[in-house]
Amino acid sequence: MTNRMADPGTAEILEGYGRFVVPSYARFPVAFVRGKGSYLWDAEDRRYLDFCGGIAVNVLGHASSVVAKALAEEAGRLLHCSNLYYHPMGAKLAETLVRWIGAGKVFFSNSGAEANECLFKLARRFGEPRGAFEILTAQGSFHGRTLAAMAATGQDKVRQGFGPPVPGFRHVPFLELAEMERAVGPATAAILVEPIQGEGGIRPATRSYLEGLREICDRYGLLLLFDEVQTGAFRTGRFLAFQRLMEGSGKEAGFLPDGIAMAKGLAGGYPIGATWIREPYADLLGPGSHASTFGGAPLACAVALAVLEHIEERGIDRQIQEKGEWLRSELQALASPDRGLVRFVSGVGGLLGVHVRRDARTVAQELLDRGLLVAPAAGNVVRLLPPLNVSTEEMSEAIAILGAASRAEEATC
């Protein structure tokens, strides 16, 4: 067993990354060596309140006993099994996901980008008989870092230096139904959106927008696809964000997209991706059409099942709805239209965007210096992504840190 007392210091760790790790991330200059619950400790043993959460991954916090127990038990039973065969955990997890979403089937992978790739291939297979291959996505969206996912992403900066882009994607202004309908053409096979744009700045869709997309797809014979990689796994208080957004509409029970990509929080920190496909289209990707060596491995499925069942059994989904509303109201109390750090707050449940007056990364660094970890996003937005089992005391601590930063901002004006 590794002696944690022998962990190198921050300077040595950063030097190792500089010498041996591809510099594809804009990392903050801190190195973490352990975590517990909502907290992380760096190499100098300083404690941080983690409201970044691995960017919406650590739904039960760090060093969760639920995750540890599932990992240990399944690793000692069946770690990996080729997809040439069957195993019980894959069937159980798929059944659980279908129960929470609707009639259909699930393809398992390892990440959000892979889950979206399955949607891309589904759309092309669906449209192939009539020569349709194009997917309409939203400006400001983010769908991953593979070449196809970058082409789907509605942010030019993501594609810079990697041209020409993969063909078959066009970007339409978010929340503009008329623009989306005008963009539909003979080559269009599907529409893909995030119910709440995450990297794009915590921008929720409206019920009318989601309903309008469904109507457009039904009218023109297109697939409606949702990217719930960041917004799923009970992050908003419902299993999927579109379910939360549709609450109270009177149409919630009958509303479904045709495909959904999921990942991030599904297994509380263990890598897994999943793509749900609605029943009429669930068999389009037949044998040999799509695959993933590690996708749906027994270990990943067992951990995901344990995490999701724990959230449901303990009512953590309902709790994060209530806690999220309280946290949002307290954060909004810090906001001012003309002074201080915070302009306004967006989002629902455990997915909140604090819209600040300066560059989001600069603000994230300042909050890190004060002991609070947040995730920068586009549009001068810092995301708060606490564990779903976050305590009221921990939320109050985050508010106090943001309040101190806001007061310091006012003092410099």
Question: What residues are annotated to the active site?
Answer: 142, 227, 264
In angstroms and rounded to an integer, the radius of gyration of the C-alpha atoms of the chain is: 21
Helix/strand/coil (H, E, C) string of 189-258? EEEEECCEECCCCCEECCHHHHHHHHHHHHHHCCEEEEECCCCCCCCCCCCCHHHHHCCCCCCHHHCCCC
Quote the CA–CA distance of 34 and 39 in Å, as a whole number. Answer: 9
Please state, as a whole number, how many other Cβ atoms lie within 10 Å of the Cβ of residue 40: 21
- Grouping H, G, I as helix, E, B as strand and the rest as coil, residue 29 is coil
The owner of tokens 């990509």 is 261
H or E segment to which residue 106 belongs: strand 104-109
Region of 47 on the Ramachandran plot (φ > 0 left; ψ -120 to 50 alpha; else beta): beta
Quote the CA–CA distance of 11 and 170 in Å, as a whole number. Answer: 44
- Strands 39-42 and 259-262 come out as unpaired
Quote the CA–CA distance of 226 and 197 in Å, as a whole number. Answer: 11
The owner of tokens 């930063």 is 405
Q: Cβ distance 345 to 384 under 8 Å? A: no
- Grouping H, G, I as helix, E, B as strand and the rest as coil, residue 356 is strand
Q: Cβ distance 298 to 79 under 8 Å? A: yes
Whether a cis peptide bond, with omega within 30° of 0, leads into 164 is yes
**The token pair that represents 171 in the structure block:** 């970007």
Contacts of 181 (CB under 8 A, 6+ apart): 216
DSSP assignment, residue 350?
T
